[in-house]
Amino acid sequence: MTGPSADDFYRPWERTIAGWPHFQESVYELAVRYPNQRLLWRGARDAGWGVESSLYRQLTTHRGRAPREEDMVEAERRILALARETWRFDGMGALETFAHLQHLGGPTRLLDVTENPLIAAWFATERESGGDETDSRLFAFVTPGRDIRLNSRWGGRDPHWHAVSNASEDQRRLHRWGTGTGRRYWRPPAYDARISSQSAGFLLDGVPIRAAENGFGRKGPDTEETWSSDDMRKFGSIPLKLTTIRRGELRATAAPVFTFRIAADARANILDQLERRYGYNAAAMYSDLYGLARYLTARPDRWADPS
């Protein structure tokens, strides 16, 4: 796909973290300046990656274009039909089914986040077989809506958002679905030990649609030029209204996203601090046999080298 990259989108808004002290200062500053907003964190090992759910990414690869909301809904319905009719997993609501699939690596629209910035930083800096020679990235999301509860509205057999997704874009905007301001957070039950150990939860929103006639979000703090929703769909499965850390309270209806680039040469130092001083390591984050198998595959240097 042509057009802007995720790096083009992030660069005007990002703050570069050059080491452990700078990471601590940035997290502290954000918390102090916005004391009444809960922050949800996400780490990415590559600073150039988009914020894409696994379902969105697979549909993009399979169809050769960024999917729209109706594509996501169609795929979700087929996935639920396979789970219930062919695999006969028919005893859970839609959202719980997607949560279990997400945990096992299946395609869903759920985006993994954590309530703990140290855990997000660990995911951003963890070592893989490819090394840590690239910059990595942190995101902090403010979510204005009420948390999702597994009640009759969200815990039912059919996904609650499908009723909105099938409406026109005007109706979706009315319900704020796909605009960012209707972004919701779900802290699921501890279906698995990892949910607790990672302070994990999921972000849920629609595929980006134009929020207003003047565009979706500014391209930088010093310009009024805005991104189109078509551009945004090339590097995000949900709307991302980036902003900078500044003084003052945010409006209750705002849904800003803050982003930090972790310099490649700072990754090892930050990871060392997290693992040595705070106990955040692979065994703590992936506290099951799946985690051990993943670790052994990714880190042969820890067991295959001669002693």
The answer on pLDDT for 5 being more than 80 is yes
Are 113 and 42 in contact by the 8 Å Cβ rule? The answer is yes
Residue with tokens 């396979």: 82
List of residues 6+ apart from 98 with CB closer than 8 A = 76, 108, 109, 110, 159
Report pLDDT digits (tens) over 212-242.
Answer: 544 567 889 899 888 888 888 988 999 998 9
pLDDT more than 90, % of the chain: 60
Terminal Cα distance for the chain, rounded: 47
**288-298: pLDDT as tens digits:** 888 899 889 88
List the single range of 22-31, 44-53, 158-167 with lowest mean pLDDT.
158-167
The least confident of 41-50, 119-128, 173-182, 215-224 is 215-224
Instruction: Provide the mean pLDDT of the chain.
Output: 89
Identify the pLDDT of residue 93: 95
Burial label, 159 (beta-carbon count in 10 A; 0-12, 13-18, 19+): buried
DSSP-assigned letters across all residues of 234-261: TTBSS--EE----SSPPPTT--EEEEEE
Maximal C-alpha separation, the chain: 64
d(CA 262, CA 163): 40
Q: pTM of the entire structure?
A: 0.92
Which of 19-28, 32-41, 42-51, 109-118 bottoms out in mean pLDDT, i.e. has the lowest? Answer: 32-41
